[in-house]
Structure 1
């Protein structure tokens, strides 16, 4: 039962990395869109593409937290004790991101739009970095039961590389999805705009992965051994194949299929980390069985998870499907326009 819950946790992390990562990636390109005039069209597309499923993607993060504190309370305590600072910064980033995205669109004052837009865009860069740094701290074995918080737990070579790769992964996902969204919304001038950015993000991801190889070997030896053999290596190879397939699909302008392969790239990379780390939740100090909660808690958690999958799973699939097909219409600019106020457009 503990192994089942552990793999559900890894799957939930992969789902959040893909679903939430796409939103982070859109925010990343919002940050690099340029000035008010140059970035107007890309930001318009980002606003309209993200709106229908904005809140849905955060369901996965809540699911991760529930699985952790219910299924593995010892691990939950150790992680939040040693890594409370990057987790707190990621949480603040989440709040600023949501506020910036929600308030930018209805705001009519240019100065306010810039402030809200900056909060949304910068938080979209920092939040995945801190979340990646947390995973890097865990993978490097710096987090253990009873270890106090320290900068070394998350400001180390593995955490730095994991944070940068998290940003690159989200940028890759965001650009790939925005290619398809640009065509769906009739913004044909933006299709090639984001296609070039998807290629650039994938190239950056490859470079970072190559740099991360010696870093992981020297700084996270247990995970390195898992990634260079067995199922961990297989998942990593499949992730690379799916990434290359995404690039080729973008060349062929098959944007619908490129979404699936880009998601598979990130999901398989997360699974590779899960296989490389087993049987440990905290290498090399806390195994799955050692961290597991009470047996009756695990049974009820499995039952509730099954019910959630049956009840919520089809709804999530339907929402994503409707959004992909363009059946979910976000609020228009006129729907969210506020009444004119003194100082508008200033």
Structure 2
């Protein structure tokens, strides 16, 4: 029972990272497509201002994922990181580079440097969710088992490619929804419709990719396909679709108050649906939760730590997100970042 509990905690934390980190990746995606320096100035201004207070907070969820996997399911951790070390390494490098690009772009006063750091941030925001999605696709397709050697086939198969593209589309959807709401909050009315349109287009991309995924996963990831088309897996897929459509309708009637919640519910419920579709396996169809669980005493301690994290860290994170959405957290000024002017700043 403890192993099952930890497994579901892992799914919830992955969903939290998909929503929190995914929103930031989505903002980076739209930063990449914002256009040249003049055309993209306003969207990038909003992206910087909206992300600045909380972008580092979302990486807390990724740390939780690694700890839960490593301690709670060491056999799974070893199998995944052995067979999929390359896409995981690329995702890790992308996470570091996007963070560095975002952190260094604002205090840089030289236009050339801002462009370089901005390009690093934007491109890494596109590649990182793709590689993370390809990892999930490799696992869901059943290509990862204990002892599976690393190979490109494990993460470049049809299911992995579609999962990577779906990850990009989902993060773009989240990012556009949040930025549309932020534009209204910051009084940038010209950007409300700008990001509203992009949110609708991104959701359309999610729907198209999901439809394409049906025949692909039926052939390539049969176990998960069966789990997603019946029982609780199907129920959560339907709920995710419902909240996705609700988000689009709310955007169309400009009811921005609830769009953040419905968009987050869309992505989170999709992740939970994947969890139900894959049960009782950690690695379909070779390693169950019971088989991959760590030592009982380790699981008990992990459960205690998870409980403490929920009691102490959870409310703190909720407060940070709440303060940010209410506009109580302010971005750093040039004085705070010591971004003093340099000779040739305008070059």
The aligned residue for residue 297 of structure 2 is 296
CA distance in 2, matches of 1:238, 1:326: 30
Please state if 1:236 is matched with 2:237.
Answer: yes
The aligned residue for residue 100 of structure 2 is 99
CA deviations on 1:202-254 (whole Å, 9 max, x unpaired) are 00110000001000000000000000100000000000000000001101211
Report SS of the residue matched to 1:53: coil
Change (3 A) 1:333 1:256: farther
The aligned residue for residue 261 of structure 1 is 262
- TM normalised by structure 2 equals 0.99
The aligned residue for residue 59 of structure 2 is 58
CA deviations on 1:154-185 (whole Å, 9 max, x unpaired) are 00000000000000000000000001100111
Q: 1:232, 1:272 within 8 Å by CA — same for their partners in 2?
A: yes
The aligned residue for residue 306 of structure 2 is 305
Report SS of the residue matched to 2:52: helix
Structure 1: tracts of 5 or more residues without a match = none
CA distance in 1, matches of 2:219, 2:112: 48
The aligned residue for residue 137 of structure 1 is 138
Structure 2: tracts of 5 or more residues without a match = none
CA distance in 2, matches of 1:334, 1:249: 39
The aligned residue for residue 176 of structure 2 is 175
- TM normalised by structure 1 equals 0.99
CA distance in 1, matches of 2:11, 2:341: 49
CA distance in 1, matches of 2:94, 2:324: 26
The aligned residue for residue 246 of structure 2 is 245
Deviation at 1:340, TM superposition (A): 2.2
Deviation at 1:255, TM superposition (A): 1.2
CA distance in 2, matches of 1:345, 1:144: 54
Report SS of the residue matched to 1:281: strand
Question: What does 1:3-82 correspond to in 2, within 5 Å?
Answer: 3-82=4-83
> For the aligned residues, what is the CA RMSD?
0.8
Paired residues, number: 346
CA deviations on 1:2-24 (whole Å, 9 max, x unpaired) are 00000000000000000000000
CA deviations on 1:124-154 (whole Å, 9 max, x unpaired) are 0000000000000000000000010000110
